[in-house]
Amino acid sequence: MPRVVAHIETVPTAAARQLLLDGCALAAPPSSATRARVLRVIHDLGFVQIDSINSVERAHHLIMHTRLDGYTHAMLSHHTEVSRRAFEHWTHDASVIRSEWLVWWTHRFERSAARVGDGSWLHEKLGKNWRKTLGEVRSAITQRGALSTRDFPKPPRAGQGWWDWSPHKAALEHLWRSGEIAIASRKGFEKIYDLSERVHGARAATPARDELIEWAASEALARLGCATAKELAHFMHSITLAEANAWCAKAISEGRVARVLLERGERCDVAGVATLDWKRRAQRVKPDGTPRLLAPFDPLIRDRARLAHLFNFEYRFEAFVPAAKRLHGYYTMPVLVGDALVARVDLSSVRAEGVLRVDRVWTEAGQPVKRARAQAQAASERLAEQLGLTATFK
């Protein structure tokens, strides 16, 4: 008898876009900020990426401003420094992470601890006497309490353009990545470290690797709605692509996820997985029409390939591109309206003058120019109000 091959459904681009908006907490209108709602955003997203560039506002605060009206820095620092409902560490990059997930970071801690002495860039910064330096930093924090980089010796700069990391700063970074110390607080943007047990309590036992894989892939899919194995693996960078592929195959065989094809425009559809209720979830999403600016590291847009596929939006963060080669600007933010990215703006905060200066606005192809420019202006004015500034336009 002929073998019956089950039909594999294709997730249309529009549905994948709705699922991602929902998973990124951008389908509903912005709500009034409270500590509880800030924590809700962290829980919904899983983590919020941190970035130091302050041209407009630091990225983790911009991510909150996009979703909440009236947000203040203290609402986030309350959870990282007082309630301890969130902690700072690495996902795909430095992030504020929901505290319930700390147990899963033990794998990352152990991997980082094993890398000391492996010739990596961090080991090079630690220097030849790295064992002694690590011991000095451990002892200092144990005996003196929470300390920052400035509490340790700093050598003279080695020359123009040198990345000025002292061995003690490298030791703090290694001990933090290894989970021996934790970020207890920040002074401005400066990290203040203490022993992990004094910040988070005793470290939990390391879960089995298969439990980590199940958690990481499930949590990624819950937020993406549908994804390739590569997208699941790269969501938090906790598991390998091979592990994500194996999880997909197992979850499909057990009927816990749907095997699907993901529509990718003119390209061939690609194999992926989706939550079993992906159709119902996508149909429920009614994207909000409030014009909002997105930080370059917002979870909706940080995967540039997915962004191009789902929103037909090519985006490059140009802060590290030489000025003469930039196409749009040092800190360009996309404008989200509903389920479309209608424009992008090049802007900066001029705090001494109390203004959010919008230097240029680009409308996207296919968007009514007058309306898209008005939406970009409304989004810029909303952010300016959030930052206590006045938007000005060239």
Q: Please state the pTM of the whole predicted model.
A: 0.93
Give the integer Cα–Cα distance in Å for 223 and 238. 16
Q: Which of 114-118, 155-159, 343-347 has the lowest mean pLDDT?
A: 155-159
* Helix (H/G/I), strand (E/B), else coil: 341: strand
The mean pLDDT of 337-356, rounded to a whole number, is 97
pLDDT at 164: 66
The mean pLDDT of 192-200, rounded to a whole number, is 97
Strand order in the sheet with 94-98: 47-49, 94-98, 86-90
pLDDT band at 153 (very low <50, low <70, confident <90, very high): confident
Element at 392 (helix H, strand E): strand 390-393
> Is it the case that residue 117 has pLDDT exceeding 70?
no
> Is it the case that residue 66 has pLDDT exceeding 60?
yes
* Helix (H/G/I), strand (E/B), else coil: 277: coil
Share of the chain above pLDDT 90, in %: 85
Residue 233: name the closest of 245, 225, 224 by CA. 245
Beta bridge partners of 31: 68
> Is it the case that residue 160 has pLDDT exceeding 50?
no
Q: In this structure, are residues 66 and 292 in contact, taking their beta carbons and an 8 Å threshold? A: yes
pLDDT band at 28 (very low <50, low <70, confident <90, very high): very high
Backbone angles phi, psi at 97, to 5 degrees: -125, 145
Give the angle subtended at the CA of 279 by the CAs of 315 and 285, to the nearest 5°: 60
> Is it the case that residue 114 has pLDDT exceeding 90?
no
Beta bridge partners of 195: 181
pLDDT tens-digit map of 208-264 = 999 999 999 999 999 999 999 999 999 999 999 999 999 999 999 999 999 999 997
Report CA-CA distances (Å) from 46 to 16, 98, 150, 348.
19, 6, 31, 28
Give the integer Cα–Cα distance in Å for 107 and 102. 10
Beta bridge partners of 389: none
Q: In this structure, are residues 77 and 67 in contact, taking their beta carbons and an 8 Å threshold? A: no
> Is it the case that residue 129 has pLDDT exceeding 90?
no
Alpha-helix residue ranges (DSSP H) falling in 35-87: 35-45, 59-67, 73-81
Report CA-CA distances (Å) from 80 to 40, 73, 87, 142, 184.
14, 11, 5, 21, 8
Q: In this structure, are residues 43 and 307 in contact, taking their beta carbons and an 8 Å threshold? A: no
What residues contact 168, with CB distance under 8 A and at least 6 apart? 133, 136, 137, 149, 152, 153, 154
Q: In this structure, are residues 229 and 244 in contact, taking their beta carbons and an 8 Å threshold? A: yes
Report CA-CA distances (Å) from 43 to 74, 106, 147.
18, 20, 29
Q: How would DSSP label each residue in 94-109?
A: EEEEEGGGGGGGHHHH
Ramachandran class of 228: left when φ > 0, alpha when ψ lies in -120 to 50, beta otherwise = beta
How many other C-beta atoms can be found within 10 angstroms of the C-beta atom of residue 124? 12
The mean pLDDT of 62-67, rounded to a whole number, is 98
The mean pLDDT of 98-116, rounded to a whole number, is 92
Residue 217: name the closest of 266, 176, 254 by CA. 254
> Is it the case that residue 113 has pLDDT exceeding 80?
yes
The mean pLDDT of 195-218, rounded to a whole number, is 96
pLDDT at 361: 97
In b/e form, how buried is each residue of 72-94, taking b as 16+ CB within 10 angstroms?
beebbebbbbeebbbbbbbbeeb
Mean pLDDT for the chain?
92
The mean pLDDT of 1-26, rounded to a whole number, is 84
Rg (CA), the chain: 23
- Helices 241-253 + 209-224 axis angle, to 10: 80
pLDDT tens-digit map of 288-331 = 999 999 999 999 999 999 999 999 999 999 999 999 999 999 99
Element at 147 (helix H, strand E): none
Q: Quote the tokens at residue 40.
A: 């809700």
In the chain, the N- to C-terminal Cα span, in Å, equals 72
* Helix (H/G/I), strand (E/B), else coil: 182: strand
Give the integer Cα–Cα distance in Å for 324 and 335. 24
